[in-house]
Amino acid sequence: MLGIQQSIQKSLQEGLQSLFSIDAQEIVLQETKKEFEGTFTFVVFPYTKQAAKAPAQIAQLLGEYMLASNKHIKAFQVVQGFLNLSLQDDVWVEILNRINLDEKPFTLADKKEKVLIEYSSPNTNKPLHLGHLRNNFLGFSVSQILDAAGYEVIKTNLVNDRGIHICKSMLAYQLFGNGETPESSGLKGDHLVGKYYVAFDKAYKVEIETLVQQGIDPEEAKKQAPILLKAQEMLLAWEQNEPSVIALWEQMNTWVFDGFAKSYAQMGVSFDKIYRESNTYLLGKKLVDEGLAQGVFFRKDDGSVWIDLTEEGLDEKLVLRRDGTSVYITQDMGTAQLKFEDFGAKRSVYVVGNEQDYHFEVLFHILKKLNKPFSEGNYHLSYGMVDLPSGKMKSREGTVVDADDLMAEMVNTAQSRTMELGKTDGFTSEESNALFNQLGLGALKYFLLKVDPKKRMLFNPEESIDFQGNTGPFIQYTHARICSMTRKATSMGIDMRITKDKSYQLAESEQELIYLLGSYKSKIQEAAAQFAPSVIAQYTYDLAKQFNKFYNELSILNEENEDSRNIRLNLASLTGETIKASLALLGIVAPERM
């Protein structure tokens, strides 16, 4: 489809030049709306001033030019300032033949460029939650999309395993744990450590209340609470490498990382390298020294180091405390340098929630001012929060929705829905459980990824698992239906991958399906350029929906005309393969039986 589209774009450029002496550098084609005739629509409004004609006149003249000069155009329609172009009948068979002959139908040419994607970024004081699910699914999906678009992708995870919040879990365990372990408690390691983070908070609030009752100001009580002072002492001991504190820290970190590994395996996400803040938090100090020497940073009278970004519309930002300790931005500067030294990637995508928008704006400005070779290729993939309907999916802590709980609940819901509909008849227990997992996780991932990342969203578990509508299970079921059909065709000895005679007349629903199949690579380009899995999700839904329209309107296996039957089976086979490839870009498995 790209070749046809490029031919039309070139003709439109030539037409604008020939008819109106307009040098159009970029021609944008849109998909024609369903209520109008045509495949592509060209908007002429931007050229009215240069052409000195009304939009409808420009569109009419361009349409006549295209009809006379481009062999792919069969007809045109002018709707005010919109030029709708219809393709010749033989173009559709040509596109279908090209798809069949494409040796790499689901990947673009090698870009010979590395892109680093950082996602997940959990803290080791608590388990992963619903927000982490959106983060991980986004990061993994974008990495899959960029890989398909021809980039060499490196997936990284920066784990926050140091700081006062980590010491809070450690201290609470020391005070209340009584030697409890994941084995003795039956809890995943991250849940066990999270239990003590909650225990710290409860004890802290009790101590604050006690101090307030003694007449101490509430804000001062928060600072004087004995358990907080002990946590601060523990942080200092950690920074000084006190052996017993380090041993406890390493033990609890081991439990947490084991728990995270199980959660990541269930999510179906992975990383090429995991960085730990405990190993990177001091790295930025060297860059601060460089920046001071270059005049990028300045030192205040108290010894702290800052950068002035007021000319960039921001403000002054602390990069080193007066006692010489680093802050988050310092650490991120150092980690960015380390990642570049490790992989040499000049482009880096940070998948982090929108509450950190300002932080990354500052970080990227600092890296540019330091003239780092990777400073121009940074992008913050900012995403909104995920809300749940009130009363749904209560977490064990009562404040956030636990990721493991939600994934388990989704699989259980998939099981009950699937069994109600009888979609596992003839399955073994092992096959059924695998399907429940694929459907539950597919529903969850698709629902979270189909929304533009920047938007805050409401996740409705019941709605996501529906087998009708814009859901993962609907698309997965369509794929399974296609697989069943192509298995029958194969058993009948039908060759579904032969090139077709261009004179063959295709029905409208066949043409629409070919259009979508031919659009796959352009959708990869679009999704990669925007870092937007939602583009792939919408495309996959449109493809599944169009296949079902095609399936309901035309006879396929029972078609008496052999040419028609084979072309329709070919379309079914290509659709199944494309749905499978598209879902894989979203991290979703496409079942072959349901």
pLDDT in tens, 357-383: 999 999 999 999 999 999 999 999 999
Kindly report, residue by residue over 132-166, the tens digit of the pLDDT.
Answer: 999 999 999 999 999 999 999 999 999 999 989 99
Instruction: Specify the DSSP class assigned to residue 123.
Output: B
Phi, psi of 275 (to 5 degrees): -95, 150
Residue 170 in this model has a pLDDT that exceeds 90:
yes
Q: What mean pLDDT value characterizes the chain?
A: 92
State the Cα–Cα distance between residues 193 and 16, nearest whole angstrom. 66
Residue-wise DSSP of 347-372: EEEEEEEGGGHHHHHHHHHHHHHTT-
Query: What confidence score (pLDDT) does residue 399 get?
Result: 59
Query: What confidence score (pLDDT) does residue 265 get?
Result: 97
The amino acid at residue 133 is L
- The tokens of 151 are what? 């980039």
Kindly report, residue by residue over 401-420, the tens digit of the pLDDT.
Answer: 889 999 999 999 999 988 88
Name the pTM for this structure.
Answer: 0.90
Q: Quick one: pLDDT band at residue 552, thresholds 50, 70, 90? A: very high
Taking phi first (over 0 means left), then psi (-120 to 50 degrees means alpha), and beta for anything else, what does residue 158 get? beta
Query: What confidence score (pLDDT) does residue 151 get?
Result: 97
Residue 396 in this model has a pLDDT that exceeds 50:
no
Residue 493 in this model has a pLDDT that exceeds 80:
yes
Kindly report, residue by residue over 122-134, the tens digit of the pLDDT.
Answer: 999 999 998 899 9
State the Cα–Cα distance between residues 141 and 525, nearest whole angstrom. 14
Q: Once rounded to an integer, what is the mean pLDDT over residues 202-213?
A: 96
Residue-wise DSSP of 528-567: HHHT-HHHHHHHHHHHHHHHHHHHHHS--TT-SSHHHHHH
SS3 475: helix
Element spanning 593, H or E: none
Residue 499 in this model has a pLDDT that exceeds 80:
no
Residue 496 in this model has a pLDDT that exceeds 80:
no
The candidate with the shortest Cα–Cα distance to 404, out of 266, 550, 535, is 266
Kindly report, residue by residue over 56-65, the tens digit of the pLDDT.
Answer: 999 999 999 9
Q: Quick one: pLDDT band at residue 38, thresholds 50, 70, 90? A: confident
Segment among 37-46, 285-294, 342-351, 502-511 with least mean pLDDT: 502-511
Q: Once rounded to an integer, what is the mean pLDDT over residues 217-244?
A: 95
pLDDT > 90: percent of the chain: 75
Q: Once rounded to an integer, what is the mean pLDDT over residues 481-499?
A: 86
Residue 3 in this model has a pLDDT that exceeds 80:
no
- The tokens of 322 are what? 């007066």
Angle at 241 between CA 238 and CA 247, to 5 degrees: 75
DSSP H helical ranges for 21-151: 48-51, 55-69, 89-101, 130-148
Q: Are strands 305-308 and 316-320 parallel, antiparallel or unpaired?
A: antiparallel
Q: How far is CA 318 from the centre of its chain?
A: 32
Q: Once rounded to an integer, what is the mean pLDDT over residues 477-495?
A: 91
Q: Quick one: pLDDT band at residue 186, thresholds 50, 70, 90? A: very high
Kindly report, residue by residue over 235-285, the tens digit of the pLDDT.
Answer: 999 989 999 999 999 999 999 999 999 999 999 999 999 999 998 888 888
Burial 131-156 (b: 16+ CB within 10 A, else e): bbbbbbbbbbbbbbbbbbbbbebbbb
